[in-house]
Amino acid sequence: MLLFVGLGNPTPDSENNRHNVGFKVIDYINKKFGLSKQKPKFKGLLTTGNIDNKKIYAIKPLTFMNNSGICIRELIEYFKIDAQDVIVFHDDLDLEFGKIKAKFGGSSAGHNGIASIDKFIGKDYSRVRIGIGKPKGEMDVADYVLQNFDEDESTDIEKVSEHIVESISFLVEKKLDLFSSTVNNK
């Protein structure tokens, strides 16, 4: 049993924000693998299904980015999911736009959603970091992550989501290095 978590903010005006790339990936996984219809549960939108014969729960927390850990803790306690079986998809300013890296554990690197999850379930879970690049010029980082993707970036994020889906077997098997190298070579 695995839990996929996509980080983002639940307001309609946040839907296409850079900070919501985790939500976009979960939506893409749900669609491609025919997971159940989203249901509001555990302070998030929950779907279930199977990928590679493995039970998958996928959730988009509705608690806003800075409180994502509240939703995750409730869900893993209810279903008895080990933190090591949690995989979080989130935006990363320190990665070039469209680059993807998966890792187990580590620091939040200033990402408030990750910091919240660390607070509520510890640091022993996997993260799939999706590069959104850094702001150009003097733009504030908070303003940048809350900006919408432009049309070209939206198309590229769709391709990134497709590459994640094509390589998802490596995530399900927890082969994070193979996932990272495969997904970035597509």
Q: What is the mean pLDDT of the chain?
A: 95
Q: At what angle do helices 151-166 and 21-33 cross, to 10 degrees?
A: 50
Pairwise CA distance, residues 157 & 160, whole Å: 5
Q: pLDDT tens for residues 107-150?
A: 999 999 999 999 999 999 999 999 999 998 888 999 999 999 99
3-state secondary structure the chain: CEEEEECCCCCHHHCCEHHHHHHHHHHHHHHHHCCCCCEEECCEEEEEEEECCEEEEEEEECCCHHHHHHHHHHHHHHHCCCHHHEEEEEEECCCCCCCEEEEECCCCCCCHHHHHHHHHHCCCCEEEEEECCCCCCCCCHHHHHCCECCHHHHHHHHHHHHHHHHCHHHHHCCCHHHHHHHHHCC
- Could you tell me which residues are beta bridge partners of residue 40? 45
Query: Looking at residue 17, what is its pLDDT?
Result: 96
pTM beyond 0.85? yes
Q: How many residues does the chain have?
A: 186
Q: pLDDT tens for residues 7-44?
A: 999 999 999 999 999 999 999 999 999 999 999 999 99
Q: pLDDT tens for residues 162-172?
A: 999 999 999 99
Matching CATH number, 2-184, of 4.10.220.20, 3.40.50.1470, 3.40.190.10, 3.50.50.60? 3.40.50.1470
Catalytic residues: 19
Number of neighbours of residue 147 by Cβ within 10 angstroms: 16
